[in-house]
Structure 1
């Protein structure tokens, strides 16, 4: 009689993917690990869920997977809730870089890339350093701060307000506006009241930026709005005023929450791995390594969707045209086929290829700016500060988004380094 392994004889329990559960919110990585091992191309909740680096990267690279899913989801959700007047937010979706496909995407990206250059972002370091320094001065005087509320959240909003040179009376409204409009990234979470508020906010935000354009056209400066208005292709093509307005709005919507969570997630990982924080303190060259590893280890954008526009075979599964595909960036970044010791936070890691900023033509336009702000934040928290200590071992994760992962708050004690 042949002996059998209990593991082989036991019926296989199907792993259930539930991104809305408290367990997933607190720590999605055990579930990602199970799915990678058992069903890396997983059909559930009316869509395909991908968790291995190879398939996630392939879908992001394949232009036949459309990113233009959000506007139709907004329309569908609005109709389901009996809210019919969503023309402006539909238009924002259909004309934004984040949600367009070629040829519209190539045209918009070609123009905006003329402004979002590595050189222009690098020139913002003194600005980012000044704003972060002002925020940290208050923390040092107080002997502590909430890394999220007092640094990670206000920093990206203030930096963009300065880069756009927005009027002073507008700057206090930008944060709340951005928080409301980010619902567009997850229309399935919107209720009737959310549609009312988002429609009103988009109108108000767009009108406020539009009012600035004539003055910038007449008296251009080094600010982002002036640069967007001046951008031209070799053939003379330029952004329309509406496109300039939408680019500005989406800079806040796409960049604020992710930058905040990058700083929060990275700070938390360094606090939980003091030996890695010690490496960071030894030299400024380790700051970029800390940002890169934070993006891999616990990326702020965990999930993003695509729509198949053709039938395709992927890792043995047949995905049909018209089906939705959820790509799990956080899972891909912990794939042992690409990263040795993937669950370890390691600043000395040499393997590249993380997908924290996506991949392909929809790779994050503002990635360099997010990295710059995280670099400066980590410098202030771990190099210019002494004895940074978390006030609690418990972490409450934000619950207003299921695609973005980040702490709701992160209180720490901190003093200026001598």
Structure 2
């Protein structure tokens, strides 16, 4: 096991505990990365001005730098620091906070969810993007296309993607850009109007970050929904709990995003350790959320947890701006899946190949 493989391991949490016990901020010679595993170290890294989201010498991964996916990537607020991060965030974050919960629930309920493996897959991955697309002003038919294109685009965010997937990601980015150009010219949804009113950058940056809103929804929501179903499968007594309480603990106990990375721009000290310019840091968000220094009884799944604290959606200047929306979509989707009568007892799963995500892929035993 290593800190990257751990993300898709059946149970990485004992290994994370070993890393915390070894110091919380240590160098992994095999990965050639610093590893922050304790809550204190993770806090320190995420708050430090010299820990950037991308290496200074490679703001866009070389594998995609020459195509449209790379152009979009380079403008995403989550992949930038400074003004290129603050400008789109200051427009999108407050707008997302105004979304009506009842509207989200209605959009989720309007989708057809079938009680088979394909139905679960679409509910986890495609459904949440369709909801966001509808909130932005796309028609249901357009939302389905945007959801499919988003599935192709997210391949550019993974180092595991092959050349064929990257080519599809470039094509998807081109098509998504076209859809959003038309949307900005024609649609007048409350969400899009609020974002446009606050946004002060150019249209290309706005479009890139609207694509980014869909791409972040795609994997984060899928993981939240899937890991909630895993919790319900393992602990049937949770099935009577409110979806809000269930999802709040799932995102701490077994989060969809297990780690993120930071790159040191200038030599500095992190948690008492000197790091050099150019060093990479693997930030184990999932480990920090299980740190007993952050949460009492961290390895217990407790619906009624006082002062629940988590790094699942990041922290500080790069904390996910869509956390509330993601939780609402995931909670409403889990409720719909259960109401449709999916047989959780028959669920079996493996984790989607990933370097940082923990997203179960379901099938049904006996199929």
Question: By the TM > 0.5 criterion, same fold?
Answer: yes
Residue of structure 1 in register with 2:82 after alignment:
102
Q: In the alignment, does 2:211 pair up with 1:225?
A: no
Q: In the alignment, does 2:53 pair up with 1:67?
A: yes
Alpha-carbon distance in structure 2 between the residues aligned to 1:146 and 1:168 = 19
CA contact (8 A) 2:59 2:74 kept: no
CA contact (8 A) 1:77 1:190 kept: no
Q: In the alignment, does 2:363 pair up with 1:407?
A: no
Alpha-carbon distance in structure 1 between the residues aligned to 2:359 and 2:147 = 17
Residue of structure 2 in register with 1:271 after alignment:
233
Residue of structure 1 in register with 2:123 after alignment:
151
Alpha-carbon distance in structure 2 between the residues aligned to 1:397 and 1:200 = 27
- Change in CA separation of 1:183 and 1:39 when aligned onto 2, cut-off 3 Å: farther
Alpha-carbon distance in structure 1 between the residues aligned to 2:149 and 2:301 = 35
Alpha-carbon distance in structure 1 between the residues aligned to 2:110 and 2:89 = 34
Q: How does 1:99-248 map to 2 (within 5 A)?
A: 99-117=79-97, 120-121=98-99, 123=100, 125-135=101-111, 139=114, 148-167=120-139, 169-186=141-158, 188-216=159-187, 221-231=188-198, 238-248=200-210
Alpha-carbon distance in structure 2 between the residues aligned to 1:406 and 1:177 = 19
Residue of structure 2 in register with 1:321 after alignment:
277
1:161-204 alpha-carbon deviations (Å, 9 max, x no partner): 21122255533322232122213333x32333333222222112
Question: How far 1:336 sits from its partner (Å)?
Answer: 1.8
Gaps of at least 5 residues in structure 2 are none
- Change in CA separation of 1:332 and 1:248 when aligned onto 2, cut-off 3 Å: same
TM-score normalised per structure 2: 0.88
1:49-73 alpha-carbon deviations (Å, 9 max, x no partner): 1111111122112232111349926
Gaps of at least 5 residues in structure 1 are 1-15, 79-83, 233-237, 281-285, 413-418
Residue of structure 1 in register with 2:25 after alignment:
41
Q: How does 1:285-296 map to 2 (within 5 A)?
A: 286-296=242-252
- Change in CA separation of 1:171 and 1:289 when aligned onto 2, cut-off 3 Å: closer
CA contact (8 A) 1:24 1:31 kept: no
SS in 1 for 2:247: helix
Aligned pair partner of 1:85 in 66, 85, 89: 66
Residue of structure 1 in register with 2:344 after alignment:
389
1:106-135 alpha-carbon deviations (Å, 9 max, x no partner): 222222234222xx22x1x23332233244
Alpha-carbon distance in structure 1 between the residues aligned to 2:232 and 2:293 = 25
CA contact (8 A) 2:251 2:310 kept: yes
Alpha-carbon distance in structure 2 between the residues aligned to 1:300 and 1:19 = 14
**Root mean square deviation, CA, Å:** 2.8
CA contact (8 A) 2:60 2:74 kept: no
Residue of structure 1 in register with 2:2 after alignment:
17
Aligned pair partner of 1:300 in 237, 256, 271: 256
Question: How far 1:410 sits from its partner (Å)?
Answer: 5.3
TM-score normalised per structure 1: 0.78
SS in 2 for 1:302: coil
Alpha-carbon distance in structure 2 between the residues aligned to 1:57 and 1:369 = 24
Higher-Rg member (1/2)? 1
Question: How far 1:226 sits from its partner (Å)?
Answer: 3.2
Alpha-carbon distance in structure 2 between the residues aligned to 1:71 and 1:395 = 39
Question: How far 1:159 sits from its partner (Å)?
Answer: 0.4
- Change in CA separation of 1:199 and 1:387 when aligned onto 2, cut-off 3 Å: closer
